[in-house]
Structure 1
Amino acid sequence: MAHRTLYMSRKVALAAAFVVAAAAVVVVNGPAIAETAQPQGFTAPASPDGEVTLLTGDRVTIRSGRPEVRPGPGREGVAFSLRTDVTGDLHVVPADAQTDLTAGRLDPRLFDVSALIRDGYDDTAGPVTPLIVTYDGPATGIAGTSDARALPSVNGYAMTADKSANFLAGARTAGVAKVWLDGPVRSTLDHSVGQVGAPQAWQSGHTGRGTTVAVLDTGVDQTHPDLADAVVESRNFTDSDTDDDRVGHGTHVAATITGSGKYQGVAPDSKVLNGKVLDDRGSGRDSTVIAGMEWAAAAGADVINMSLGSSLPSDGTDLLSQAVDRLTADTGALFVVSAGNRGPAAGTIGSPAAASSALTVGSVDRTDALADSSSRGPRPGDGAVKPEITAPGVGIVAARARNGTIGEPVGDSHVALSGTSMAAPHVAGAAAILAGQHPDWTADRLKTALTGSAEPNPARTVHEQGSGRLDVARAVRQSVTASPAVLNFGTALWPHHDDAPIVRTVTYANHGSTAITLRVDGEARGVDGRPAPGMVTASPSEVTVPAGGQADVTITTTTALDTPDGGYSGAVVASGDGTSVRTPLTVTKEIESYDVKLAFIDGEGQPTTAYSYRFDNLDRRERLLSYETGGALELRLPKGRYFFEAFVGTQQHGGALTAFPEPELVVSGKTELVMDARRGKQAAITLDKPDAQPGDVLMAIEILTEWGYTNSVTFGPTFAVQPWEPSSTSRPGRARFTVEAKLAQPDGTGRFHGSPYQYNVLWRHDGGVPDDLHRTFTDRDFAEVRTVSAAQGPGAFGFRNYLAAGPLPLRVTEYYTPGVPWTSMLSEMDPDTMYQHTKLHTALPREFEAGAPPRTEKWNAAVFSPAFPMGNEMWNERNGDYVYTNIPMFTDQAADRIGSSGSDQARTTLSRDGVVLAQTEADGYVAGAVPADKGTYELRAEVTRSGMWELSTSITSTWTFTSEHAETPTALPLLAVRFAPVLDDRNRAHAGRPFVIPVYAQRNGSPTATGVRTPEIEVSYDDGKSWQRARVGKLGERWLALVEHPADAKFVSLRAKAQDADGNTVDETIIRAYGLK
C-alpha cells in the first residue's frame, strides 16, 4: 500500500526515523519512559498542521501532530526518513534524495515540513514550489519548471517546480550544483542619532552628500516630507502592484538613514535607491532579495541596507550570504545587514547577516545596553564573530508611511519601532558619511573604520556586540583603520600542553597627513568573564604608522597556558595620539575531546554512501551531528555520553534500512564505529493464525536523557526491510526498545484485501535492543474488538488502519495488545490509486483491558458533521489576540473520533461586527489577529462534496461567541450539535415510519457540554428546499428528536440551532444527513 501515517503526540515529538512508503498507520504508543522523571517544563514543540508536496512529488500531511507520508506516482517502493530536530520541526526525506542531501546538492529546508507549512510553502499556497537552482557551469533547463529569473551573483535561476512532477529526477543533470528552496525573508522588526555621534560628524561637514544608499525593504513612501527628493530611483521586485510602502518598515529605515525634519537621519544629505524586495505583508523570498541586491549594486550604491533576514541560523554558506560576498567583491558596495531578533540565545545569526563580508548589526537601547532580542553569535560552523557592531534599535522614531500599518504613532507623521531593523540603518548612514568623506573607500575600508572606532560595552562579549556600539564621530575623526575587522583564531585541539601559538596579522593603515604612533595591547576573557593574562600578545607592542602608509602587527594567541578550556573572546586595541582602534577576536581552547571514526558497509560488504547518523548528547540538549551533515567520517567529539543512531541503506528486499542504535555510547578516548548492514537482525512474530503476515511494522528505541526525550524509529511493510543490530550498550530504565506490528491475512497481491482479521501487536524490551528479536503470542494474549464499518455510498472501499481492507460495509475482527494505548483508524480510499477520500480516527489513544470479553464497535455511522471530540485538546483557541480554528467537519456520530474528507468547495470565515477578519478556502480552518477588547464574533464554515459521497454533501455551520484578550491559550466557546441515529450498515433508516434521533452536544476544549439549552431541530426531505420542525424532548444529558419519514423520501437533511447559558450559539445545516430505504 502507498498511504502511510505516523502518530506523533503533541507532548513528545518523534526524532530520527526512516520510513518505507508501504508502511501503514503506526503509533508510538504511550508516553516516554518514566515520563514523570522528565525535566519539569520540557515539551517538544508540535509541528503545525498542513499538507506539503515534496520536491519528489511525495505528499506529507500533518494533522493534530500526526504526519502521513504518501509517495508520488510510481514511488510506492521508496523509503523515507522522518525525524524531528532540536527545535521540534519535522523533517521528511525520501531515501532517493538522501545521497544528494548528504553531498550538499539539495537544500535541507526543502524537507523541513514544519517550516514549509509555517512559512507558507504548503499545498494551499498553490501547485508549484519556488526554487533557486545554481550551476557549476552554464545554466540549462530543467523539466517541470517555469518562470525562470536569472540571478547572476549566485550563477543560478529562480524558478518554480510543478508539485505534480518529480522535480528531483529532472534536476540530476550535468552542471546543476545545488537546488535551493527560494526561502522566506522578513523584516527584522522587534536618542539615537546623537547617541552614535552623528551631529559631531555633521559639524565636521560630513553628511553623506554625494553618496547613495540602497534600501532593500518594503518600499519607501516618497511623499513623506522627511524624504522629499531623497529617492533617486525605485524598483519593485515583488508581486505587489506598487513600489510604495504599505507596511511602514522601509520608509522608517530610509528616514533613519537620510530623513530630514525633527527626527533627522544619520546621513541627511545621502540619496536613496528604493528596492522593494518585501511585499505588502513584510515578507519576501530569497530570489527577490538577491535580484534587488544585484540591481542595487549595479546601480552604483555605495552602501546597501538590508533590515531583513531568515529565522534560521546560518554558517554563511546560504545563497543570500553567497550573493553578499560575491557582490561585495565585484562592486565594492558595503552591505549593512541587521543581525536579527532571535536573542538572547547564542548562535542565532541568520541569513544574510552571516555573510563574511556583511557588516552585521546588533541592537542596543539608549543606555547602550544590548537589547534582549538582538541576535548573538558566534556564527555556526567556524565560530566567527557576528555581529561586528551594534547601534540604537529600541524605540527609534522616524517617518511614518502614509499607508503603513506598524509601529507606535508619534504625532501624525512619525512612528516608533524597535529591532535590529532599526539599528542597521544607523550604521548604513554612518557608512554613507564615511563614503562621502572618503570617496575612494570601498566595503572593506568602510567596515573596518566603523568597527575599529566602536565603543564597547564591558559587560558584553564580542559574540554579543562585536566591536561595540557605533561611534561615527570617532570614525570620522580618526585617520587609522585596522584590517581585518575581526580576528578568528579558530580552535586549538585538546590536549593543550603542546599547543603551538596561533598567529594572525593586523594591518594598520593611516590615511592622515602625519604619522601616528600606537601602543598595541591584546586581551581575552573566558566565558565566565575572567581575564586570561598572556593569552593574546602583540609584536611589536608599539608601532608607528606613517602618513599615507601602513604597518603590520603580529597578534599571537597562546592556548598552552594553564587556563580553563572553552571559548575566549576579547580585542586587540591600538591607541595613541587620540586614536583608539579596536579589533575583536575569538579563540577556542577545545574541551576534552577525541577522534571518532565512522565506517558504513552495505549488505554486500561494500563501503556505501547511503547512510545517515547522529549523536545526541545525553547530558546537554545538543545534537552534534545531523542527517544533512552526514558526509564526514572522521569526527571530533567532546568527552561524554551519547545516544548514537545510524542507518545504512541497501537494495535488498526493495530497499532495506539497517538500524544501528547505541543507547549510551561513552566517548572517553579515540573511538571507531563500524556500521555493517550484514550484522542487522530481523524481528519476527508468531501467532495462532499461521497465515497472518505483517503489513506494517514499526521498530523504535526511546531514550530518556537528562534534558528530555529522543528516539530512533524505522517502519515499513515487513521485518525484512528494517533489520536492527542489537545494541552493545544499555541504559536500563532510561531506554526502551519497541516492536509494533500490524498483521493480517494477505490476498496474494501484496495487499490485505478481504482479510477478516487484523492483529495489532506491541512488545518492549528495557535498556536497549536485545539479541533475540522473535516473539510468540496466542489469541488469548490480546483484547478482541469486532469492528463494523458502514458505507457512505456505493463503491466505497475501506481500510482498517490502512491494512485489512474491503468494500464497505466492512467487518474485521481486530486483536490488540492490552495495556498500551492504541489509535484506531478507518479510511475510505481508492483501491487502485490509494487516493484517500475520507479519514476517521480516535481522538485520543485508548487502552484495551486484558481478558475482557470481545467488544463491538460501529464506525462510519452517520451523521457526519462538525465535532469537538470528547476529552481532546482545544481544537479552536485564542492566544493573546490571535484566533485559530481547526474544526473536523466530517466526524461520524461517535463522541471520541475525528473525521475529515475531501471536498469540492470550502470556505471558513471569521468576522466581528460584520467585518471579515480572516478567511480561508478550507473547511473549518482559519487563523488571524483580532482586536484585544471584548466583542462578539461570528465563525462560519461551509463545505460541499460530491462524487462517491452520498451523505453530508453540504455542511454549513455558523457560530457566534464572545471573546477578549487571553494571556494564555483559551478555548473558544464553540458548540456542536451531534446526531446519533440507529442506522443500517449503509447508513439508512426505513422510509414511511416514525423515527427517533438521539441528539447530544459537544463543547470545544471540554469533555462535557453542560448548560446547553434544548436545541431546535428541523428536518428536510427535499435537500433543504423546505423544512419542518421536529419534536425534541430531553433525556438526561441528551435529547431525542422525533421525525416522520415520508414513504417516498430518499434522504434526510437536518438543521439545528443551540445556545448555552452565556449566549454562545451554533446554527448548523447538514444536507443528506442519512439515507432512507
Structure 2
Amino acid sequence: MNDSSTPSRTTASPRNAPGAPRPAFRRRALRVLALAGVLSATTLSALPPTAVAAARVPETYTLTIRHLDRQGAATDAYQTRVTGISGPGASEAVTPHDDSGTVTVRLPEGRYLLDSTVVGREEGSGTDWIVQPRLDLDRDTTVTVDARTTAPVDVRPQDPEARFLSRLGAVEVTHGGTTRFANVMAGPGLRVAHLGPDAEPGSVKEWFDTYWAGTTTDYALGYTFTSSRALTGLVRHPSPSSLAAVKVRRAAPDGDAGTAFASVQPSAGPTVGLVQPLRPLGTATVLVTPERGRWDVEYEGPSAPGETPNRYARNGFAVRAGATTTHTFDNAVFGPALDTAPGARPAGVRDGAALSLDVPLLADGEGHAPSAPRFRAATTTLHRDGVLIGTRRGAPGRGAFTTTPGAASYRLTATATRGDGAAPSGRVTAAWTFTSAATARPTALPLSTVRFTPVLGLDGTAPADDRMRVPVTVQGAAAGTGVRSLAVSVSTDNGTTWTRVPVADGRAAFRNPAAGRSVSLRAELTDTRGNTLTQTLTNAYRTR
C-alpha cells in the first residue's frame, strides 16, 4: 500500500501471486464492514405518533472543523466522519469536506464520535488518524484536527527481513448504551492521536493489527486497549519468545492437487487476516501476539472453476507465548463429529411431531466440519417401530421428518460415500436407535458419535505393519460417564470381515496390514439409557 494514497476504511486486499501471503478481510461477512453497518444502524427507538407530534424540535449547533497537515498548514487532503452516539443527534452520520481545509456543518445537540484521516502530499509521507471519542455538541463548537499532534504506530517484529503487508486500526466508543465504530487501513507510515476531552473510563476500545511477511514465517501482531482515550502513538517490537506460533497444515489424503488457502486472524473485534497459499502437504507458520486474545484459523480447499470450495474453520483457540498450536485440515479419518462447545446446537432435535438430524458426517481427522463436503452419494433414513418413515438424499448427515406423536422406537441412519469420482472412496455410516415421543418444545435427541484419531501422515497414511493405539473418543449424549458398553472392530478387506480389538485407556490396539492396504473402523456403543450407535468407517485410512 502506498503511504501517499488515501487510506481505506472498507477495502479488501487483492490476492497476491502464488506463494506469497496476502492480507484480506476475513470471509465471515467481512466483519469490519458488517460491524460498521450494524453499529451505524443502532439508533433510538421510534416514538409513537402522538409522542412525535408533541416532541420539540431539537436544538442544532454549528460544528466547525479545521484540518492542518504536519507542517501546520491548512489541507484539503483529509477524510472526516462525525457519527452521533447519543442525544437528538444519535442517528446522525456525516462526512463533511471543503477544499479550504475548514468545513462547517450544523448538527443536533448530542454526543458524537469524530475521526479524521489526513494524508501527506509527498510520496511516503504517511497517514495521520486523529480520533475524538467524546465530542459533546451543546453549543457552537470549533475542532482543530492537527496532524502535528500525532505519534507513530510502530509495530514490527524483530526480524530485519520481514516485509510489511497491512494494518488495521479500529476504535469503538460506547455511551448511554449505544456503540459507534470507526476504522482505518493504512501503510507503514501511520501516525495516530487522541483529540478532545477524556470519555468515561472504559468506554473507548481500540484495536491495532499489523501483518508482516518473513522469509520462513509470517507475523500477525495485534493489540487491544480499553480506556477513556484514543491512542496517541503505539510502539511494539515483540521478541520471538513473546510470540505464539500457529501452524496450519494442508493434508491431501486423496492425492488432491491445486492450491488451498489458510487464513489466521484474531477472534475478537474487527480485523484484517493474513491469508497464505498452501500446496499439497504444505505448512504455513504465523507468529501471533497472545495479548490479542484468542485466534481463528480458516481453511479453503482447492476447487475447480465454477465449483464451491470446501471450507473448514477452527475458531477461538487460546495461544501462549513460546508455544506452538498446530491445526491440520482435510486429513483422514473422516467421520461424524459433534460440536462440543457449551450451548452448541444439538445434532438431532425432536419438536412436536417433527424430528431432524444435522450431523457433520464427513468431518476431517481433527473434527473440522466441512462447508461443502465432497461426496458421491448420501442418504438419511428414519424408521419408527421398524416401519420406514422416509428417506432424504443429497446432504450428508442431514434430514427432516414428520412422524406421529406417541412414544416409539426409532432407528435413524445416515450414510455418505466420500470422494468426487476421481479419488479413492470411503463410506461413512452412523445408525442410532432411541425411544422418542412428541415434545412440547425443541428437545435434543440422545445421539452420540465416536471419533477415531490415529496419527497419520499428511497423505492420510500410516506405516504398514505398525502396532497402532488409536485414540477413541465418545461425543454427544454418552460422553463422559454415559457409556454402558463400547466395542471397536477393524477390517482390512474393505469391510468384508471384521475383527474385534481391545480398547483400553481410551485407545484401540491393533496391527496395521501390509503396505497399500486400507483400514476400516467400526464402533458399537450403548449408553446408560439403552440408546445405541453403530458407526462404520470403510477405508478410513491407508498404509504405506
Using the size of structure 1 for normalisation, the TM-score is: 0.39
What does residue 365 of structure 2 align with?
Answer: 893
Which secondary structure does the structure 2 equivalent of 1:842 belong to?
A: strand
CA distance in structure 2 between the aligned counterparts of 1:1018 and 1:701, rounded to whole angstroms: 56
Task: Please list every run of 5 or more consecutive structure 1 residues that lacks an aligned counterpart in the other structure.
Answer: 1-15, 28-60, 70-79, 91-312, 314-344, 348-376, 379-462, 464-525, 528-566, 568-585, 746-754
Describe the shift of the 1:941–1:924 C-alpha distance in structure 2 as closer, same or farther (beyond 3 A).
same
The question of 1:769 aligning with 2:230 is answered yes
CA distance in structure 1 between the aligned counterparts of 2:190 and 2:393, rounded to whole angstroms: 45
Describe the shift of the 1:765–1:628 C-alpha distance in structure 2 as closer, same or farther (beyond 3 A).
closer
Q: Determine which structure has the larger strand proportion and give its number.
A: 2
Which secondary structure does the structure 2 equivalent of 1:1028 belong to?
A: coil
Q: Of 1032, 1035, 1045, which residue of structure 1 is paired with 2:504?
A: 1035
The question of 1:616 aligning with 2:85 is answered yes
* Counterpart residue type for residue 1075 of structure 1: R
What does residue 983 of structure 1 align with?
Answer: 456
In 2, are the aligned partners of 1:864 and 1:952 still within 8 Å (CA)?
no
1:239-295 C-alpha deviation (Å, 9 max, x unpaired) = xxxxxxxxxxxxxxxxxxxxxxxxxxxxxxxxxxxxxxxxxxxxxxxxxxxxxxxxx
What does residue 3 of structure 2 align with?
Answer: none
- Relative contact order, CA 8 A, sep 6+: which one is greater? 2
Q: After the TM superposition, which residues 84-233 of structure 1 pair with which residues of structure 2 at under 5 Å, given as runs?
A: none
CA distance in structure 1 between the aligned counterparts of 2:166 and 2:486, rounded to whole angstroms: 45
Which secondary structure does the structure 2 equivalent of 1:892 belong to?
A: coil
* Counterpart residue type for residue 702 of structure 1: E
CA distance in structure 2 between the aligned counterparts of 1:886 and 1:346, rounded to whole angstroms: 38
In 2, are the aligned partners of 1:829 and 1:836 still within 8 Å (CA)?
no
Shift of 1:891: 3.4
Shift of 1:980: 0.8
CA distance in structure 2 between the aligned counterparts of 1:675 and 1:836, rounded to whole angstroms: 47
What does residue 208 of structure 2 align with?
Answer: 739
CA distance in structure 1 between the aligned counterparts of 2:401 and 2:137, rounded to whole angstroms: 49
Q: Of 815, 833, 837, which residue of structure 1 is paired with 2:287?
A: 815
Describe the shift of the 1:770–1:844 C-alpha distance in structure 2 as closer, same or farther (beyond 3 A).
closer
In 2, are the aligned partners of 1:600 and 1:675 still within 8 Å (CA)?
yes
* Counterpart residue type for residue 699 of structure 1: G
What does residue 542 of structure 2 align with?
Answer: 1075
- Number of aligned positions between the proteins: 499
The question of 1:965 aligning with 2:434 is answered no
Which secondary structure does the structure 2 equivalent of 1:780 belong to?
A: helix
Shift of 1:1040: 0.9
CA distance in structure 2 between the aligned counterparts of 1:891 and 1:1011, rounded to whole angstroms: 23
In 2, are the aligned partners of 1:612 and 1:648 still within 8 Å (CA)?
no
In 1, are the aligned partners of 2:244 and 2:319 still within 8 Å (CA)?
no
In 1, are the aligned partners of 2:250 and 2:282 still within 8 Å (CA)?
yes
What does residue 270 of structure 2 align with?
Answer: none
Shift of 1:624: 0.7
1:624-663 C-alpha deviation (Å, 9 max, x unpaired) = 1469999xx95532x333345678999999xx99866432
Shift of 1:781: 1.9
Shift of 1:982: 1.8
What does residue 570 of structure 1 align with?
Answer: none
Describe the shift of the 1:933–1:636 C-alpha distance in structure 2 as closer, same or farther (beyond 3 A).
farther
* Counterpart residue type for residue 1030 of structure 1: T
Shift of 1:809: 2.3
Task: Please list every run of 5 or more consecutive structure 2 residues that lacks an aligned counterpart in the other structure.
Answer: 1-7, 15-21, 98-103, 264-273
What does residue 10 of structure 2 align with?
Answer: 18
Describe the shift of the 1:965–1:811 C-alpha distance in structure 2 as closer, same or farther (beyond 3 A).
same
Q: After the TM superposition, which residues 568-967 of structure 1 pair with which residues of structure 2 at under 5 Å, given as runs?
A: 586-596=53-63, 614-617=83-86, 624-625=91-92, 634=105, 636-637=107-108, 639-644=109-114, 661-671=131-141, 683-695=153-165, 697-707=167-177, 711-713=181-183, 719-720=186-187, 725-729=192-196, 730-731=198-199, 732-745=201-214, 756-767=216-227, 768-784=229-245, 789-794=250-255, 795=257, 797-801=259-263, 803-825=275-297, 827-830=299-302, 837-848=309-320, 850=321, 852=322, 854-855=323-324, 857=326, 859-860=328-329, 861-876=331-346, 878=349, 887-894=359-366, 897-904=368-375, 913=384, 914-916=388-390, 921-924=394-397, 941-944=414-417, 946=419, 950=423, 954-961=427-434, 962=436, 965=439
- Larger Rg, first or second structure (1 or 2): 1
CA distance in structure 2 between the aligned counterparts of 1:1015 and 1:868, rounded to whole angstroms: 18
* Counterpart residue type for residue 792 of structure 1: P
* Counterpart residue type for residue 56 of structure 2: K
Identity fraction in percent? 21
The question of 1:67 aligning with 2:67 is answered no
Which secondary structure does the structure 1 equivalent of 2:474 belong to?
A: strand
Describe the shift of the 1:1048–1:778 C-alpha distance in structure 2 as closer, same or farther (beyond 3 A).
closer
Shift of 1:840: 3.6
* Counterpart residue type for residue 615 of structure 1: G
1:554-580 C-alpha deviation (Å, 9 max, x unpaired) = xxxxxxxxxxxxx4xxxxxxxxxxxxx
* Counterpart residue type for residue 857 of structure 1: T
CA distance in structure 2 between the aligned counterparts of 1:847 and 1:889, rounded to whole angstroms: 29
Which secondary structure does the structure 1 equivalent of 2:241 belong to?
A: helix
The question of 1:1052 aligning with 2:519 is answered yes
* Counterpart residue type for residue 230 of structure 2: V
Describe the shift of the 1:1063–1:840 C-alpha distance in structure 2 as closer, same or farther (beyond 3 A).
same
1:852-884 C-alpha deviation (Å, 9 max, x unpaired) = 5x4463623421222124435413375965877
CA distance in structure 1 between the aligned counterparts of 2:389 and 2:156, rounded to whole angstroms: 63
1:394-432 C-alpha deviation (Å, 9 max, x unpaired) = xxxxxxxxxxxxxxxxxxxxxxxxxxxxxxxxxxxxxxx
Shift of 1:773: 3.6
The question of 1:83 aligning with 2:14 is answered no
